[in-house]
Amino acid sequence: MQKINLVIITGMSGAGKTVAIQSFEDMGYFTVDNMPANLIEKFVSLLVTSDKGDIDKVAMVVDMRSRSFFDELSDIVNDLSDNPAVEFRLLFLDSSDEELVARYKETRRSHPLAVDGRVLDGINRERELLSPLKSFSQNVIDTSELTPRNLRSKITQQFATENTKAPFRIEVMSFGFKYGLPLDADLVFDVRFLPNPHYVPELRNLTGLDDAVYHYVMDAPESGAFYDNLMRMLNPIIPGYEKEGKSVLTIAIGCTGGQHRSVAFAKRISEELAENWPVNTSHRDKDRRKETVNRS
């Protein structure tokens, strides 16, 4: 029998439960959105008695829909609190009526408890139902003045440990502008101003990972000056991305075809950044020309 770290996320509709569940997923929790209350204990029992032990951190969103739903959830919360195999915490998300109304108007959604269509009536009904559950919650976060990023930060502060903290890593990728910008890039740098090995016959069919091409690119005076200035910019700002809660920073280096100059630069940047950060390196278009030749 294993012990389960369980977090149930509930609270006012529109208070940020979607952002909350995403935050727990980033911290390595197994997440379940909109879990039916009557399945919670069965689900937890399966995890506790499992001999695999591959899921020991679970976060689930449980929404309020009716008085009977609330009564059922209240009984389940009491049982979980007394279960020695479960380390249980209840996270309650709240927000002001004014802010909730504004959010519903912005999304043009109806409140689940607004039978007659008036959002404020639904909010009042839900607040009345949830009042006892809020007082029971170990963690209450008022999201009235919080941006999604601020809410993620608060959840991380309250729930993250060294084992659950979302790891920050850097993705360095090379690409060719002729094939389009990478959609997931945070920072993009253009090295098409550097000498191009494509016009050197013996280097044309090699890539920036080959020593001959790498040194042709990196030994150019323009490369040295650009590289030094680029790293002087990157090294001070990367900690800021981690501090603001970003889990992956993608740095993209582009040249014309993504085979020579960008590959060499991505390789060198990765090597230096890897001294202080977890780094993964990829070359999106490095072999694209070879594939085209083979198909023809």
Spatial CB neighbours of 236, under 8 Å, sequence gap ≥ 6: none
State the Cα–Cα distance between residues 35 and 55, nearest whole angstrom.
Answer: 17
65 is in an annotated binding site: yes
14 is in an annotated binding site: yes
63 is in an annotated binding site: yes
- For the chain, the straight-line distance linking the first and the last C-alpha, in angstroms and rounded, comes to 59
State the Cα–Cα distance between residues 262 and 252, nearest whole angstrom.
Answer: 9
Q: What share of the chain is helix, strand, coil (3-state, %, to 5)?
A: 50, 20, 35
Nearest to 140 by CA among 126, 154, 150: 154
- Beta-bridge mates of residue 189: 253
Phi, psi of 250 (to 5 degrees): -105, 120
13 is in an annotated binding site: yes
11 is in an annotated binding site: yes
125 is in an annotated binding site: no
156 is in an annotated binding site: no
Q: Is 164 helix (H, G, I), strand (E, B) or coil?
A: coil
233 is in an annotated binding site: no
53 is in an annotated binding site: no
81 is in an annotated binding site: no
Annotated binding site for ATP: 11-18
Annotated binding site for GTP: 63-66
Annotated binding site: 11-18, 63-66
